[in-house]
Amino acid sequence: MQGLDTSLYHKTLHAMDTMLQTVVLDSPASSLSKELQSILQMLLTFTKSPSAAVRERAVGRIGMLSYLLASYSSLEAWCPFGREDDSPACHGGIHIPILGELLGRLILLSFCKDKETSRAALHALHHLFRFLQQQRCSAWPEDNLQHQRVWGAASISCHSLPSTSATTKVFGKYLQPLERTDIILTAIEAMTDASISDKEGASSMLDEAMKDPNSWLTDVPKIMSGIHGSLEHIRVAPARHSVDSLLLLLTNRCPREVVKSLLKCSPPVDSAALAMWEVMFSRLQPLEKVLRELRIELRNQRMRRLFSTVLEDTCILQLTLLAASDVRAKEFAATYNLWRSLRHQSLEMLSLVLQGLVTLSQRPETARKMRVLLEDIVETLESGNEDIQMKALLVFRNMLGHMRRQEASPIALQLAEKLLPLFNHESSQLREFSLRLFREVMQKVAWRHKRQMRKNVRQGLLPLFFRMSDQSQSVAKASGEALLAAAELLKWKQLRHLLQTQQTWRIGECLVVQDRSRAEEYCHQSLPYLKDAQATVREAAVRFIGLAARPLRDQSPEKLCNVCDALKALEKDVEPSVCSLASQTMLILSSSQEAAGIRKRPASGSTRALCCWPCKARER
C-alpha cells in the first residue's frame, strides 16, 4: 500500500478491525475459541516481524480483539441451526490455548523501544487482564471482598506496568500451569529473537518466575526442551546468565526429571546438550545430584542414548565413582588405571569431564582422590585448546589447595615445567592464571624437591621478567609477584629488593650480573620474544639482549653476530620505538665487534651456528 493516502490506509485497518470483530461475534459458541485461536495465532506470528511497523500493526489488532473480549459480559455468539440449546457464549466458555505465549509476547513488546508498539501492547495487556478478571473470578463468591481487593490492586498495577517482572507477577497469579510454562518458553525464545532489542526484559521475566518455582516450574520436560532449542543462539551475557540460573534451579529441585529430559532431547550428544551438561557440572550441589542420577542410568544401561562409545560411558562412570562417598581412593584408582579414559576423549567430552573435575575438586576428600588423574590431566595442557587448558589449571589449583606440602610437592614439581609455555599464550586470562599458579607451585614445594624446583625456576626467570612488560596490567602484576616468589626461592636478595622497591628498570641487569655464565643461554632464550605480538614485550627483549650480549664479545663472538642478525629483522617493525631501539642496540653491539677485531661471517654460517646454539648451551 505504499504511495497511497495515509487516511485510506487507516480506513483499511479500521475495516480489518470491523471484519475481525464480525468473524468473532458471528462465530457459533461451539467454534468461538477455535476462531479466536486461529486469528490470534496468525497475528502473533506478525509480532515477530523484523519490521517495527508490522509489529505495531499486529499488536494493534490484538489490542482490538482483547478489548472486544473484555467489553462484553456475554458475547453475542450463537450455536448454529437454531437448536434448542442455542445460548450466548460466556467468558468462562472461551478457551485460548496460546494465551500464555500471547501474554509473554505482549509483556516483552510493552517494554520495547518503539513507543507506538509499546503503547499498543500495553493497551492489549490491560484488556486481556480485564478479560481474565471476568473469566476467572466467576469461580469465586461475589461477596469475597478480599479477593476483589486483590484483583483491584492487580488491575491498577497492570495498568501502570512498572516493570516486566512486576507485570509477570500480576498475571502469574491467575494463570493456569500450562500458561505459565508458555510464558517461560516465550521469554527463553525472545532471548534469541532479533526483533526484541531489550533482552533484559526476558531475563526479568525468568527471574520473576524463579522466585516462585512451585507455581512456574511445573513442566520440567517442556522447559528443558525450550532451553535446549534456544541455548546456543543466546548471545547476550545477562540473558545467558538467567537461562543458566533457571537450569541450575531446575536441577536442584528435580534432578531426575532434568537428567531424563536431557537424555531424551539429545540423542546423540549435540553442542547444545553438552552446554547444558556443562552448566549443571559447574556447581557442586547440582553436579552431585546429576551424577547420582547418571549412576542410576548407567546401571540400567541407558546411558548409550547420550554417550555414543564405551569409553565415553566409562569416562562418565568414573566421574560418578569419583563423586560417590562410598568409593574409596584405592578402589577409584584401580578402576581408572584400568581404562585411562581421559586419554581417549574427544575435546568436547574432555571439556565436560574437566568441568566436572573442577567442581568436584572443591571438596578436599575428592581432590585427594584425583592424584591418580595427575599424569593424564598434565597431558591435557598440551592440547592447544584454551578452554581445556584453563580447566586443567583450575583442577590443579584446587587440588594443591587441599593438600599438605608433603603431598603437593611432587605435583608442584611436575607442574612447574609444564606451566612455562603458557606464560606466552595468546589468551591474557590463561597467561595470568598460569603465572599465578606458578607462584603457588613454588610455594608448595617441599625441602627435598627444592633443588630440582630451582632448576625449573631458573628457566622461568626470563619469561617472568618479560611478562612484567605485558600490556595487560593484571598479567604484568601476576608476573611480578611470581618473579618475587622466584627470588625468594633462589635466595637472590638483590632481585628481591629491586622487586619490592619497584626498581624494574634494574632487574634485567641484575639477572645478567647474578649469573654471568648464562649470558649465551639468556640471549638464545630472548630471541623468540623479539617476535612477540606485543610491542612492549619486544622492546623489553631488545633492551635485555643489549645487556646480556655484551659478555659474548669475549666469550663467543660468533653468537654476537647471530644476535645482531636477529635484531636487524626489527628494523622494519611496525612500532617506531622498537625499530629505533633495535637499531641503537645493534649499533652498540656492532661497535663492540669492531673493537674486538671481529669479522662478520657469511649469513649461511650464522644460521647454522644459531641452530646449534641450544645444544651447545645445554652442554655447558
Q: What is the pLDDT of residues 299-340, one digit of tens each?
A: 775 555 555 444 455 777 888 888 888 888 888 888 787 767
> Is residue 351 one of the residues assigned to a domain?
no
Q: Is 568 helix (H, G, I), strand (E, B) or coil?
A: helix
Phi, psi of 402 (to 5 degrees): -100, 5
> Is residue 453 one of the residues assigned to a domain?
no
CA distance 345 to 225: 27
How far lies 24's CA from each of 75, 292, 595, in Å? Answer: 9, 54, 103
CA distance 263 to 304: 9
The single residue listed with the C-alpha cell 527471574 is 207
Q: How many domains does the chain have?
A: 1
| H or E element, residue 90 | strand 89-90
* Cell triple for 538: 619486544
How far lies 440's CA from each of 195, 213, 555, in Å? Answer: 49, 42, 37
Smallest CA-to-CA distance from 72 within 12, 11, 29, 14 is with: 29
How far lies 242's CA from each of 162, 193, 262, 278, 446, in Å? Answer: 20, 16, 19, 15, 45
> Is residue 548 one of the residues assigned to a domain?
no
Whole-number pLDDT of residue 571? 85
CA 416 to chain centre: 28
Residues 6 or more apart whose Cβ sits within 8 Å of residue 461: 483, 486, 511
Q: How many CB atoms lie within 10 A of CB 619?
A: 6
Q: How many CB atoms lie within 10 A of CB 453?
A: 22
Q: What dihedral angle (degrees, nearest 10) is formed by the CA atoms of 596, 599, 605, 610?
A: 20
| H or E element, residue 38 | helix 32-46
613 and 524 in contact (C-beta within 8 Å)? yes
> Is residue 111 one of the residues assigned to a domain?
yes
Q: What is the pTM (predicted TM-score) of this model?
A: 0.81
CA distance 56 to 72: 25
Q: What is the Cα gyration radius of the chain?
A: 35
Whole-number pLDDT of residue 195? 64
Burial per residue of 409-447, b for 16 or more beta-carbon CB atoms within 10 angstroms, e otherwise: bebbbbbbbbbbebbbbeeeebbbbbbbbbbbbbebbbe
Q: Which tens digit of pLDDT belongs to each residue from 508-556?
A: 999 998 887 888 889 999 999 999 999 999 999 999 999 888 777 666 6
Q: Measured on CA atoms in the order 328, 329, 333, 334, is the torsion positive or negative?
A: negative
Q: What is the DSSP letter of 383?
A: S
* Cell triple for 515: 649469573
Whole-number pLDDT of residue 221? 95
Smallest CA-to-CA distance from 262 within 301, 231, 218 is with: 231
CA distance 385 to 428: 14
DSSP per position, 572-583: G-SSHHHHHHHH
The single residue listed with the C-alpha cell 521469554 is 187
> Is residue 180 one of the residues assigned to a domain?
yes
Q: Which domain holds residue 13?
A: 6-80+87-208
262 and 251 in contact (C-beta within 8 Å)? no
281 and 290 in contact (C-beta within 8 Å)? yes
Whole-number pLDDT of residue 160? 53
Whole-number pLDDT of residue 162? 55
CA distance 538 to 515: 23
CA distance 31 to 77: 9
Whole-number pLDDT of residue 607? 33
354 and 346 in contact (C-beta within 8 Å)? no
Whole-number pLDDT of residue 196? 67
Tell me the β-bridge partners of 74. 90
CA distance 122 to 120: 5
* Cell triple for 205: 521475566
Q: Is 239 helix (H, G, I), strand (E, B) or coil?
A: helix
Angle at 582 between CA 578 and CA 584, to 5 degrees: 120
Low-confidence ranges of the chain (pLDDT < 50): 77-85, 139-151, 153-157, 159, 308-311, 598-620
613 and 562 in contact (C-beta within 8 Å)? yes
> Is residue 479 one of the residues assigned to a domain?
no
Whole-number pLDDT of residue 495? 95
250 and 220 in contact (C-beta within 8 Å)? yes
221 and 257 in contact (C-beta within 8 Å)? yes
> Is residue 202 one of the residues assigned to a domain?
yes
425 and 386 in contact (C-beta within 8 Å)? yes
* Cell triple for 471: 600490556
> Is residue 193 one of the residues assigned to a domain?
yes
